[in-house]
Amino acid sequence: MERFIPDPLDRATIDRPTPAPTSTPRPRTQAELDAYIARHPRPTRDTYDGMYPLHQDMELTDEQVRLVLDYVREVDFHLPGAGPEEFLVVRWARYTGFQFLHEDLEAYAVGLWCTHPGMEDKHTFIRMSWGQLMGDPDAPRLPVNEPVLASDMMTLAPLRDTRTGPSRTGVDAYASDEGRPGVDFDLAVLERALQGVVDHHATGTGQELDHWWTPAVNWGVGLAGRYPRLKYFESRGELTPAQQARLAAFEAEAERIGAALDQLGLAHPAPVAARALEQAARAERGAFRPRLRIRNPRPAAPRAQPQNETWKS
């Protein structure tokens, strides 16, 4: 519903109430969930040359939905505070066996929506094999996964004060912070990224992509965004003594593991800080112009030679 905005020049509209916002009720039955899912396009997965998955995503039939619900009850799969009978099944089962380093080649992930009162926004999944979904009584049974939530997989989930996200959002998100809003959270993100690098280096797996990717991305994102922001506030004396001490401890620890950063191909904080402060100084003088890294894949055609001009060889 379009929100009504009164015209300040129309006195007749000043006291007219604003219509209440409408929201789509959460599905409570399998038919309602099926209708909701049907209104959205099915997700697709890119495949590359040499990638030949054993199975594909599939649309579950009514019989397969029953098989999933029976299996959920059999293994007592449930979210804390709810029961195994309080689930709806997402009919689009995702094949996960292509992640052969972590999953069985027969593995599927079947989405489940909780219907327990007050938990309708909790979504999880259960692992099942292709044979189970085909109704084969002798099909292999895969280890039952924990009933994780999508929010559990978010990078910042360990730093939130509730399982499904921060309890304070919007203008109240950092209302209790001392000093600049968000600085304490910035420091927590950097400290966690640094610990991730330390833990990964201790495994000895080096730059093996399957293990190196997550700590490398977390480190790079923290240094590219949150760290320059903190250095700028530090240069202006806008950090509290406690925040200043945490930032100094972070930098000291990063300096101590400098050899590990080099081995993992990761950036050091010191040059990042120097460039950030230089850019900030130029921006305050009005002399900073960000570089545009967009390249035109089709270079402009060479300019035609004017016919009325004689060019010297």
Return all residues near 12 (Cβ < 8 A) that are at least 6 apart.
none
Kindly report the pTM of this predicted structure: 0.62
Q: What is the mean pLDDT of residues 124-150?
A: 92
Residue 310 predicted with pLDDT over 70: no
Secondary element (H or E) of residue 227: helix 227-235
**Helix residue ranges per DSSP H, 147-226:** 183-203, 209-221
Question: Residues 262-270: what's their mean pLDDT?
Answer: 94
* Interval 56-81 mean pLDDT: 95
Report how far apart, in Å, the C-alpha atoms of 59 and of each of 43, 56, 91 are: 12, 10, 6
pLDDT of res. 154: 77
Of residues 3 and 103, more confidently modeled: 103
Residue 153 half-sphere exposure toward CB, CA atoms < 13 A: 8
Residue 259 has pLDDT above 90, yes or no: yes
Mean pLDDT for the chain overall: 82
> Does residue 301 register a pLDDT over 80?
no
- Domain ranges within the chain, ordered by starting residue: 30-39+54-149, 176-284
pLDDT (0 to 100) of residue 60:
95
Report the alpha-carbon distance of residue 79 to residue 38 in Å, rounded: 25
Report d(CA 151, CA 158) in Å as an integer: 10
Q: Give the whole-number percent of the chain exceeding pLDDT 70.
A: 81
Instruction: Give 46's pLDDT tier (boundaries 50, 70, 90).
Output: low
User: Residues 97-108: pLDDT tens digits?
Assistant: 877 767 888 999
**pLDDT given at position 171:** 75
**Res. 168: pLDDT tops 50:** yes
pLDDT at 208 over 60: yes
Calpha distance 231→248 (Å, rounded): 10
The model's confidence at residue 269, banded by pLDDT at 50, 70 and 90, is: very high
Q: Which tops the pLDDT comparison, 159 or 58?
A: 58
Confidence of residue 209 (pLDDT cuts 50, 70, 90): confident
Q: Are 261 and 197 in contact (CB under 8 A)?
A: yes
Q: Which residues of 164-203 are buried (b: 16+ CB within 10 A; e: fewer)?
A: eeeeeeeeeebeeeebbeebbbbbebbbebbebbeebbee
**Residues 262-271: b if buried by 16+ CB within 10 A, e if exposed:** eebebeebee
Which comes out higher in pLDDT, residue 309 or 160? 160
